[in-house]
């Protein structure tokens, strides 16, 4: 490498010297010769590779909470991951952790999310169970997308953080296992697809991953309230005062309170923890959100119909793959499907590939595929 570029690389790595003893430092990792030719530290490089992935591009049209609401100012998956990244980097910088690793995990943590959010994830999981091919979890799927489907060279530390990010689980103390290695990570990844609810047991190998995990909750808990107020699902004054007195009554106040509480209680510690008062209020707010937002009729609009489409599209694809004759492909939809599933030999591989294919679709692409392959319907009717 040119001497000036080598100096530039050294300058970038030297920024990590001031980090906490609990931070994951990229200059301590084993570098390949190819890595040494890149002026970017490994996790900085991971960020670039993730945002240039095809899956990252598809964030733009994937549901966060509301699928069929006509409002350009509610959150979609693409904004959610940016909010997670910003919140996590704020916490990470304050605790002197590795911001590059944090950003890489945050931006990649949902690339495996299905169309139509957690409802779509549930429908794909039900199909996997019924077909006897394991389970579907979006965190493990995110790793699968980057590592196996797009075959992008991403560090194990970043992939492990993505696998462990489960933001639906709220705990008061977030730890990490510094002794965890690549074999442990591979075992966790395998078990998430093969063992029910295994993802809830995963402990990451870095504290940075734990920061992203709790930042996922901080990013959506208040933002979902603001979106719901915008479209008239809830009213701000209905949030219980015992919660708002502790956390605040809007997203800005909630995010500010949670970030500061984590920083105050976690500085110079090998774990992350909320104060008891804030954690209790956060638990109660999460329960309130589930009752009045995630269980609302608007958040669940047309879900019986969407569930039916998931099942019918899956079996339509499976039938097409099993019955293709003389490699004759008649439509663009079929060409895309066969190109994706090609080279799969066993029944299990084919079925999992079809799950991969559906999971990677945006909301709009999924609906278009259903119109072409399953049944005719007016998409505009879904938004009324």
Predicted confidence (pLDDT) per residue in 55-90, tens digit: 999 999 999 999 999 888 999 999 999 999 999 999
Per-residue confidence (pLDDT) for residue 275, from 0 to 100: 98
Say yes or no to pLDDT of 132 above 80.
yes
Say yes or no to pLDDT of 164 above 80.
yes
Beta-strand (E) ranges in the chain?
173-174, 272-273
How many whole angstroms separate alpha carbon 351 and alpha carbon 375? 22
In the chain, the percentage of residues whose pLDDT exceeds 70 is 95
Residue with tokens 């100096």: 7
**What is the pLDDT averaged over residues 85-99?**
98
> Cβ of 133: how many Cβ atoms within 10 Å?
19
How many whole angstroms separate alpha carbon 138 and alpha carbon 147? 14
Say yes or no to pLDDT of 328 above 70.
no
Contact residues for 258 (Cβ-Cβ < 8 A; gap 6+): 218, 221, 247, 274, 278, 282
20 burial (CB, 10 Å; 0-12 / 13-18 / 19+) is middle
**What is the pLDDT averaged over residues 268-294?**
97
> Of 130, 139, 152, 150, which is closest to residue 188 (Cα–Cα)?
139
pTM (2 d.p.): 0.95
Domains and CATH numbers, the chain: 35-294 (1.10.3210.10), 303-382 (no CATH)
Say yes or no to pLDDT of 329 above 70.
no
The rounded mean pLDDT for the chain is 92
**What is the pLDDT averaged over residues 121-132?**
98
Per-residue confidence (pLDDT) for residue 292, from 0 to 100: 97
Say yes or no to pLDDT of 254 above 70.
yes
Give the chain's count of helices (H) and strands (E).
20, 2
Per-residue confidence (pLDDT) for residue 147, from 0 to 100: 97
**What is the pLDDT averaged over residues 88-95?**
98
């Amino acid at each position: 490498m040119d001497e000036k570029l080598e100096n530039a690389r050294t300058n970038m790595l030297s920024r990590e010297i001031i980090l906490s003893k609990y931070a994951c430092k990229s200059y301590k990792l084993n570098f390949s010769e190819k890595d040494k030719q890149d002026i970017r530290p490994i996790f900085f490089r991971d960020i670039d590779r993730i945002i240039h992935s095809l899956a990252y591009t598809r964030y733009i049209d994937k549901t966060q909470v509301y699928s069929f609401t006509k409002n350009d100012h509610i959150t979609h998956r693409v904004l959610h991951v940016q909010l997670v990244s910003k919140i996590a980097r704020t916490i990470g910088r304050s605790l002197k952790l590795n911001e590059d690793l944090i950003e890489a995990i945050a931006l990649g943590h949902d690339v495996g999310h299905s169309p139509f959010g957690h409802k779509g994830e549930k429908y794909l999981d039900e199909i996997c169970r019924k077909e006897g091919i394991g389970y579907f979890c979006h965190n493990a799927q995110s790793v699968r997308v980057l590592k196996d489907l797009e075959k992008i060279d991403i560090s194990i530390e970043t992939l492990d953080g993505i696998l462990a990010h489960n933001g639906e689980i709220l705990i008061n103390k977030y730890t990490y296992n510094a002794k965890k290695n690549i074999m442990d990570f591979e075992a966790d990844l395998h078990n998430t697809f093969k063992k029910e609810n295994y993802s809830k047991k995963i402990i990451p190998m870095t504290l940075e991953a734990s920061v992203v995990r709790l930042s996922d909750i901080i990013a959506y808990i208040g933002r979902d309230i603001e979106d719901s107020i915008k479209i008239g699902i809830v009213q701000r004054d209905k949030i219980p005062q015992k919660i708002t007195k502790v956390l605040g009554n809007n997203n800005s106040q909630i995010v500010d309170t949670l970030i500061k509480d984590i920083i105050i209680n976690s500085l110079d510690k090998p774990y992350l923890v909320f104060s008891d008062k804030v954690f209790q209020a956060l638990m109660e707010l999460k329960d309130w959100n589930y009752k009045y937002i995630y269980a609302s009729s608007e958040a669940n609009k047309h879900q019986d119909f969407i569930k039916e489409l998931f099942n019918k599209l899956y079996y339509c694809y499976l039938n097409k793959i099993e019955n293709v004759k003389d490699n004759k492909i008649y439509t663009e939809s079929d060409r895309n499907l066969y190109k994706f599933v090609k080279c799969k030999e066993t029944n299990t591989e084919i079925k999992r590939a079809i799950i991969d294919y559906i999971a990677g679709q945006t909301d709009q692409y999924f609906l278009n595929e259903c119109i072409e392959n399953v049944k005719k319907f007016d998409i505009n009717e879904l938004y009324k």
